[in-house]
Structure 1
Amino acid sequence: MKNTFLILFLLYFLTGCKEQKLSHKETVSRYYNAFDSGDYNEIKATINDSVTMISGDYVIPYNHDSFYDFFKWDSIFKPSYKIVELDEKNNDIIVTIAQDNVRNEFLKNNPLVFKVKVSFTLEKISKLEELEYIDVNWEVWNQEKDSLVSWIKNNHHDLDGFVEDMTMKGSKDYLKAIELYASNKYNLQ
């Protein structure tokens, strides 16, 4: 009888220790914390098999493989993600993020602060829709980007097209372009 009680107690204990279902807020926090720490496996655990990112007129569908390519592109810029605010509205989460990275710093908008509406399917993230950017100076952003693109086109044609290349190679070329441009600017002073 003691053995039966012990076995039943252990079974109850083990089944009670299963991972608890995360709330939507906890899932979003886990997602951005994983981006911040560079842990793709943790990100993968929070996203659905298909994820759609919406930024303005751009609608980009991802599966796990293509999302990993996006993650690699982003990681080259050495990003830091901080959750500023997290609200639940109906079944969605509205999150405000402050993103620091090398690219944003060059474009003189660091941190880049923006709001995202996060939607879920089967308790996993299925859509991330950018809602608004907060205090972003797009005029300065575009001036810096255009100066960099123009200078690269005239001086390092082999890197031309880096802005549109959303691959790991594209982000490495972007960093190289920033370094070359900054070095040239420094040498002219």
Structure 2
Amino acid sequence: MKYTLFLLTLLCILTGCTQQEATSKETVTAYYKAVAEGNYKEMSRLISDSITITAGDYVMPFNKESYYEQFKWDSVFKPSYKVVSIESDSEQVIATVAVSSLRFAFLKNNPLTCSHKIYFHEGKITKLEEITCKDVNWDVWQQERDSLVAWTARNHPELDNFINDLSMKGAIKYKKAVALYVGRGGE
């Protein structure tokens, strides 16, 4: 009996010692899998208490609660995510992800394929820094966005300011503005 107990204890210790924390690349893979599945609970487990997203001149700091609001905003546009590549070395992880959505389709940049440098602290994601977006046409993006904003202000003032409202309510207004704009029939 003592021998069996000793072997079980030794086995538990050895098994526990062989379990390692996930590598940064594994964490990024799990994060994007959770994003693609719309699994915020899993995403939340993989990010730090604060996370920053940078895109060009935009720096968007979030805590977990505000990041959840961003997640809900994004979900209104029914995005689908495809990881194109994840590269890592001992210092950093670069993920290239293609995102298709109703919003990107309207902005005539669908899918939007961007590379992000991902930063970590204590094994959790702390920052997603956009490095580059492949094949994006920012001029077309801006033209479509500006046309929609101006048309909505003139024709549906109840939806105005949707572009600056990053809440779920703002996303719903944005989606409705797109639907009305697209269906305007030559107006």
Same-fold status (TM-score > 0.5): yes
Q: CA offset at residue 136 of structure 1? A: 0.3
Show the 5 A alignment for 1:1-189: 1=1, 5-6=4-5, 8-9=7-8, 12-13=11-12, 16=15, 20-184=20-184, 187-188=185-186
Q: What number of residue pairs does the alignment pair up?
A: 186
Q: Residues 91 and 119 of structure 1 are in contact (CA less than 8 Å); yes or no, is this contact kept in structure 2?
A: no
In structure 2, the CA distance between the partners of 1:135 and 1:7, relative to structure 1 (3 Å rule), is same
What per-residue deviation string (whole Å, max 9, x for no partner) do you get for residues 47-103 of structure 1?
011111111122221111111111111111111111111111442101111000110
What percentage of aligned pairs have identical amino acids? 46
Which structure 2 segments of 5+ residues have no match? Answer: none
SS at match of 1:158: helix
Q: Give the TM-score of the pair, scaled to structure 2.
A: 0.91
- Give the AA of the match of 1:181: Y
Mapped to 2, the partners of 1:39 and 1:11 lie a distance apart of 37
**After the TM superposition, which of the residue ranges 13-22 and 150-159 deviates more from structure 2?**
13-22
Mapped to 1, the partners of 2:14 and 2:172 lie a distance apart of 47
* TM-align CA RMSD: 2.0
Mapped to 2, the partners of 1:77 and 1:15 lie a distance apart of 47
Which structure 1 segments of 5+ residues have no match? Answer: none
